[in-house]
Structure 1
Amino acid sequence: MQHTRTYPIGTPGAPWGDAERAAWRAAQVRQRSHADDVVARIDALRDRFDVQAYGSLDHGDRSYPLLAIRSRDWNPALPVAVVTGGVHGYETSGVLGALEFAEQAGEGYAGRINLLVVPCVSPWGYEHVQRWNADAIDPNRSFRDNSPAPESAALVGLLAPLRGAVLVHVDLHETTDTDESEFRPALAARDGRPFEPGGIPDGFYLVDDSVRPQPAFQQAIIEAVARVTHIAPADENGEMIGAKVVAPGVIEYPLAELGLCAGITGARYVTTTEVYPDSPQTTPAECNAAQVASIVAALDYALAHR
């Protein structure tokens, strides 16, 4: 059944052009500071890690550095672990979870694995609490060669030399109530399609790679996170967000085919995390802790099963 909902930008049934994208961008309001919330915390880690600037984004009078946190004593003989957050800038626990992992647990992996942590892939999206970038493009459908999203293209370029060396990649995400109230209606309007309401899983879950699934790896993460916060149940159809639940708290997508961030490293062990901070059963701090727990569990499992 098709549903209609009027979105304030565009004409129902007609995909957006340049004028609609410009109108959408003009409506976005800067709500927080990437420099204060992210860059300052990365700078505070410079005495413990190397910090690499792998590009910058310019939007009007603002310039955003793209920063990665790297193990100080990088050893080419060791495997690599990649952690990415803030691919969707509004997903706060992805950004804060990546930072908290580096601050709290990163040094514990020295000499065991090379860490590359990118806490905020989409700084404009972070500041404007937006899923898309400033051009109304979803970075997490754009991780491919000749990407139309500069955020995605920069990360692809950063990680390209490491392809084949990455053992594990954890991409941190969350779903909020605004997915249903704003972002999905905006997507339907942008693409000239009718909006079809969906549901939001209440709890933590993972997205595995359907092409190269690692069920034991995913389950190790679920077990660790279950000690921190609740795991999302399947719906009445045995699904979450339209995908079959293949194990408690786990669904699968063809990551590389869809241009998703977790599909770009070619790692043996990959996962995308999802938390639901608007759940009455959790708190933002608990969601951040769940992201940290997922990273630690992923790295520990990968190191034990190389």
Structure 2
Amino acid sequence: MTTPAPYPIGTPGTPWGPAEVAAWLSRQSKHRSYADEVQSKIDALRARFDVAEYGRLDYAPESYPLFAIKTRHWRDDLPTMLITGGVHGYETSGVHGALLFVDRHAADYEGRANLLVAPCISPWAYERIHRWNPSAIDPNRSFRENSPAGESAALMQLVAPLRDKVLMHIDLHETTDTDESEFRPALAARDGKPSAPGEIPDGFYLVDDTENPQPAFQQAVIEAVAKVTHIAPTDAKGEIIGSTVVAPGIIRYPLRKLGLCAGVTSARYTTTTEVYPDSPRATPEQCNEAQAAAVCAAIDYALAHR
């Protein structure tokens, strides 16, 4: 068995301090433009939807506005559906799947539901194709009171007035090969823990809430996505990324306990999508389509089972 090489930053077994975080940050560089690839698409939607700047991340010398897209004719008597993407900036289809949904499908729900879409929660990480923010903090473990992540705190402030009015929240993610080659080793190094090799599932899957399981809701989303791309099989242990599979393509996490984005409201229906963009059986376009299909199925189910 091959022993993994030590992560290039820090001392094995010792959690990072400020010097190690600074060394990690010095290795990060921009690979794409939030303004060109995301903000421009949001701007193109302004003619049909309301767009609000709900926060700004100041990471000198750069500053990133955070945008939410909303139903133009918002009605307090209608259920609210929350769609979030780009909590992990490197998970591309989470961002562009959310934007695709708004462009192609959001108008279908006019007069039936209020939609609130935050398509790119972590723009700094989007540009650097990374999981963390500049402080080496994972926003998707930081949705809790007094959050250390500005990305998480800004979204929580946005949804706070609606927290008990949201019927459905779907959070769009990806599981990639770099989870195994870069991000899990980096996490282990940051926390001073050993890095254990894992297995990346080939296909789409969902994360339900351990504390509020909604199996029929999850199944409806899986069935819709299966028409677009393949569903992840279990591994030899009957698991997906170390978690027991409770139904084809479905695992469960305690969302609020882990500080995950999908736990920020009191929504009856919650789920986290996971697309596998590195699969030889899927294209980037399919991944975006799968995310949009998941959103439509989630909203449709929630409306039919209020």
Which consecutive aligned stretches of 4+ in structure 1 deviate over 2 angstroms post-superposition? 1-5
| Cα distance in 2 between the residues matched to 1:54 and 1:81 | 17
| Cα distance in 1 between the residues matched to 2:89 and 2:97 | 13
**Residue equivalent to 1:290:** 290
| Cα distance in 1 between the residues matched to 2:173 and 2:266 | 19
**Residue equivalent to 2:149:** 149
**Residue equivalent to 2:237:** 237
TM normalised by structure 1 equals: 0.99
Aligned partner of residue 36 in structure 1, secondary structure: helix
How far residue 5 of structure 1 moved from its aligned partner, in angstroms, is 2.8
**Residue equivalent to 1:171:** 171
**Residue equivalent to 2:251:** 251
**Residue equivalent to 1:61:** 61
**Residue equivalent to 2:120:** 120
How far residue 2 of structure 1 moved from its aligned partner, in angstroms, is 11
Closer, same or farther: CA 283–241 of 1 in aligned 2, 3 Å: same
| Cα distance in 2 between the residues matched to 1:266 and 1:91 | 25
| Cα distance in 2 between the residues matched to 1:3 and 1:150 | 36
**Residue equivalent to 1:193:** 193
How far residue 236 of structure 1 moved from its aligned partner, in angstroms, is 1.3
TM normalised by structure 2 equals: 0.99
Quick one: percent identity of the two aligned structures?
Answer: 68
Q: Deviations over 1:62-96 (max 9, x none)?
A: 11001000000110111100000000000000000
Q: Deviations over 1:204-223 (max 9, x none)?
A: 00000010100000000000
**Residue equivalent to 1:34:** 34
Aligned residues: 306
Aligned partner of residue 160 in structure 1, secondary structure: helix
**Residue equivalent to 2:24:** 24
Q: Deviations over 1:20-44 (max 9, x none)?
A: 0011011101000000111111011
Aligned partner of residue 291 in structure 1, secondary structure: helix
**Residue equivalent to 1:94:** 94
| Cα distance in 2 between the residues matched to 1:241 and 1:2 | 21
Q: Deviations over 1:210-260 (max 9, x none)?
A: 101000000000000000000001111111111100001000000011000
Paired residues of 1:3 and 1:195 also in contact (CA < 8 A) = no
Gaps (5+ residues) in structure 1?
Answer: none
Aligned partner of residue 103 in structure 1, secondary structure: helix
| Cα distance in 2 between the residues matched to 1:253 and 1:177 | 21
**Residue equivalent to 1:7:** 7
| One-letter amino acid of the counterpart of residue 149, structure 1 | A
Aligned partner of residue 57 in structure 2, secondary structure: strand
| Cα distance in 1 between the residues matched to 2:3 and 2:292 | 38
Paired residues of 1:33 and 1:127 also in contact (CA < 8 A) = yes
| Cα distance in 1 between the residues matched to 2:299 and 2:188 | 37
